[in-house]
Homo-oligomer: A and B are copies of this chain.
Amino acid sequence: MKQEVTLGIDIGGTTTQFGLVNRSGNVLFDATVDTASFETADEYLEYLYQKIEEKTATLKSELIEIKAVGIGAPNGNYYKGIIDCAPNLKWGKTRVEFVKKFQKYFNVPMALTNDANAAALGEMIFGYGKEGYEIDGQMVPIKDFIMITLGTGLGSGIIVDGRMVYGHDGFAGEMGHIIAVENGRRCGCSRKGCLEAYASAPGLKRTVFELIAENPFRESNLKMYNYERLESKNIYEEALKGDEIALEAFARTGEILGRKLADAAAVTTPKAFFLFGGLAKSGNLILDPTRKAFYERLLNIYQKGNIIIDISKLFKEGKNIAVMGAAALAWDEYEKSQQNATI
């Protein structure tokens, strides 16, 4: 009997990752190819297809059946199957009808969304949504949660009652652009005070610079870095050594994040917020102040401690969350197609 798998593809500005993932979440293989060196989407897609074929051929491919394809991409729109003007994709700065084009190569159910949404589905189907989160000694599958990626920006994917919230237009979950501070920092979206201008890797860097400006009389190795060279990893390392500015930068970042998660809890009231992405690697340095501000701010009808803030299970375990997320999107789409077929 053939092993049923889905193909998960995660498109980043520089590289694309893809892999085959079975229903249990085992990644049969994953691989990384170039995204940036193509002028047109058609050239990129032809190349991507060839690379997928090459890699699949190295498996005993007669034993593999690809049931569906899922794609995570910047500005990916689930309803339309398009990449809608993604500024960091050389061939994707205009509107690319990705699913339509790619279905020439794979005639199976296919879906596309943004990377945070795909990761949320990955956590739903392979992570805490499936395996369960330990609550009072019981493993409880979490079916209402918000997945937050803390990287170069802040992205979010919202799961309600086991289902992805795409919003009316396919662009739900832009929680990085909730206003966190009135007339605050300039954001890349051209507005001011957005959450991602604070709670993200560049946001943490900006907070370090703010803290140095506020009080340069404190000792800190971080004063040796210029803005271009400073990375969140440096701040993390200094914080571990007890650097005051680094510690306070994490505290301020978590405080702002925790407050806004408390506001979001008053909207969909998830059971959990799961963090992943570069900044989530700092673990308790970001979790502790986030939780503190969150529980301080949470409306009293939501019992304290009843809403979880933690690192994503897939991310904790070092899984390829990008590929597994895209593959989970494919499994979700496959199951929808099966349900529709039986109606």
Contacts and interface: CB of A to CB of B under 8 A. Distances in A.
A144 interface: yes
Sort chain A's interface into a size bin: 35 or more
Interface of A: 75, 84, 143-144, 156, 158, 160-161, 163, 165-169, 171-179, 182, 189-191, 259, 262-264, 266-271, 297, 299-303, 306-307
Given A163-B161, A165-B160, A169-B302, A267 B269 contact: no
Nearest to A187: B299
For A160, A163, A191, the residue with the greatest tally of chain B CB atoms inside 10 Å of its CB is A160
A266 B302 contact: no
Nearest to A269: B167
A176 B148 CA distance: 23
A31 to B, nearest CB: 31
User: In terms of DSSP, what is the predominant structure of the interface of chain A?
Assistant: loop
B302 A268 contact: no
B269 A299 contact: no
A9 to B, nearest CB: 22
Contact of A301 (B171, B179, B306): B171
Nearest to A77: B301
A109 to B, nearest CB: 19
Given A165-B160, A171-B302, A179 B263 contact: yes
A172 B268 contact: yes
20 contacts: A75-B301, A144-B167, A156-B267, A160-B165, A165-B268, A165-B269, A169-B271, A169-B302, A169-B303, A169-B306, A171-B269, A171-B302, A174-B266, A174-B299, A175-B267, A177-B299, A178-B263, A189-B299, A189-B300, A267-B268
Contacts of A297: 179, 191
Contacts of A307: 168
A182 B179 CA distance: 12
A144 B301 CA distance: 26
A173 to B, nearest CB: 7
A306 B170 CA distance: 13
A179 B259 contact: yes
A172 B267 contact: yes
Closest 7 CB pairs of A and B: A167-B269, A168-B271, A172-B269, A144-B168, A174-B266, A177-B299, A178-B263
